[in-house]
Structure 1
Amino acid sequence: MVMETSKATSPYSVVSEFEGTLLKRDDPFSYFMLLSFDASGVIRFALLLFLWPVTALLNVFSYKNAALKLMIFVATAGLRESEIELVARMDALSMDTWIFFSSCKKRIVVRMPRLMVERFAKQYLIAEEVIGTELIVNRFGFVTGLLTRSLI
């Protein structure tokens, strides 16, 4: 989390990564499990659970970005944008971090796919901006699970 003082914008500004700071755990796996179950049910949930050892090994061998991209792909591929926005919620939000985050005047959330966190961040965290990766959406409105602009 970066905190800066600026007279031009506000007394305090905060830029925070969503995972590892605003989420209770550093590993966003549980968030993706919740998203995949809510959005499409048991099959996607089971697939993500089956791939958990792979993501854990990627994290152990310092390939955290690859693990995150794999979780994003499995949790979102084939879903409509609107489905992701509707089920993207933060039951795993760290209350201590939220208290600090909400006390700042200017709030920016970064890194996670914008589509997955923007609605929640703007509505409940009152974030001014969400700067995240963009998910590719095909012409039929389905998310491919791939990223166009990667901050990961």
Structure 2
Amino acid sequence: MESSHSVVSELEGTLLKNPKPFAYFMLVAFEASGLIRFAILLLLWPIIALLDVLGYRNGSLKLMIFVATAGLHKSEIESVARAVLPKFYMDDVSMDAWRAFGSCERRIVVTRMPRVMVERFAKDHLRADEVIGTEIIVNRFGYATGLIQETDVDRSVSNNVANLFVVGRPQLGLGRPVISTSPTFLSLCEKYI
């Protein structure tokens, strides 16, 4: 593939083969808190899957984030993201998407997952310049509330990509078209695959 100046790529379902982040939240729940949080998240799996099927992607995402992170210190989440998640992310990397992503000079990764769970892996292993994801609300003592700042995740990601490219547009977008009323970052790119 020819070298493009900039690329914006979705993590789930594009750079990673698996489009569902549930397994990564299970890892965070188990590694940071142990079996009880892990079991609660596992018991909620049917509700999370049902929300996805019914088109409430934001609802299922917020539920996973809440159960996996509420009450954890931000440093615990960062520790799991640094020590545990990269091995599992690496096992799931799509080499075709990686080749297209790696051929560009400026690389931006977008994800629906919390940025803190993805940023270290994306920058260290995928050589991303920027990571755009949801932001977990942390209280003044450094503990995650389990809530995120964004109400509409897709719109927020799209707006953040637009803010990075005030002048010009990304030359290449890698992602899955999503049927949604919200704009996606792909509509901002000159071409996408």
TM bucket (normalised to shorter chain) is 0.7 to 0.9
**CA shift for structure 1 position 131:** 1.4
What is the aligned length? 144
What TM-score, normalized by structure 2, do the two folds share? Answer: 0.68
User: In structure 2, how many angstroms separate the alpha carbons of the residues matched to 1:19 and 1:151?
Assistant: 17
User: In structure 2, how many angstroms separate the alpha carbons of the residues matched to 1:43 and 1:99?
Assistant: 40
C-alpha contact 2:4 2:103 (8 A) present in aligned 1: no
Compared with structure 1, are the counterparts of its residues 72 and 140 closer, same or farther at alpha carbon in structure 2 (3 Å cutoff)?
same
Deviations 1:13-36 (A, max 9, x none): 221222222222111111111121
**CA shift for structure 1 position 42:** 0.7
C-alpha contact 2:58 2:152 (8 A) present in aligned 1: no
Letter in 1 for 2:104: C
Q: Who is 1:100 aligned against?
A: 100
User: In structure 2, how many angstroms separate the alpha carbons of the residues matched to 1:144 and 1:22?
Assistant: 29
**CA shift for structure 1 position 150:** 4.7
**CA shift for structure 1 position 80:** 1.1
Matches within 5 A, 1:59-74: 59-74=52-67
Equivalent of 1:19 in 3, 12, 16: 12
C-alpha contact 1:132 1:151 (8 A) present in aligned 2: no
User: In structure 2, how many angstroms separate the alpha carbons of the residues matched to 1:64 and 1:148?
Assistant: 16
**CA shift for structure 1 position 49:** 0.2
Q: Who is 2:116 aligned against?
A: 115
Compared with structure 1, are the counterparts of its residues 100 and 151 closer, same or farther at alpha carbon in structure 2 (3 Å cutoff)?
farther
Runs of 4 or more consecutive aligned structure 1 residues displaced over 6 Å after TM superposition? none
Q: Which runs of 5+ in 1 are unaligned?
A: none
User: In structure 1, how many angstroms separate the alpha carbons of the residues matched to 2:94 and 2:48?
Assistant: 26
CA RMSD in angstroms comes to: 1.9
Equivalent of 1:30 in 23, 27, 42: 23
Deviations 1:68-106 (A, max 9, x none): 111111111111111111112231432323333223221
User: In structure 1, how many angstroms separate the alpha carbons of the residues matched to 2:35 and 2:102?
Assistant: 35
Letter in 1 for 2:123: K
C-alpha contact 1:32 1:72 (8 A) present in aligned 2: yes
**CA shift for structure 1 position 123:** 1.2
Work out the percentage of aligned pairs sharing the same amino acid. 62
Q: Who is 1:49 aligned against?
A: 42
**CA shift for structure 1 position 39:** 1.2
Compared with structure 1, are the counterparts of its residues 87 and 54 closer, same or farther at alpha carbon in structure 2 (3 Å cutoff)?
same
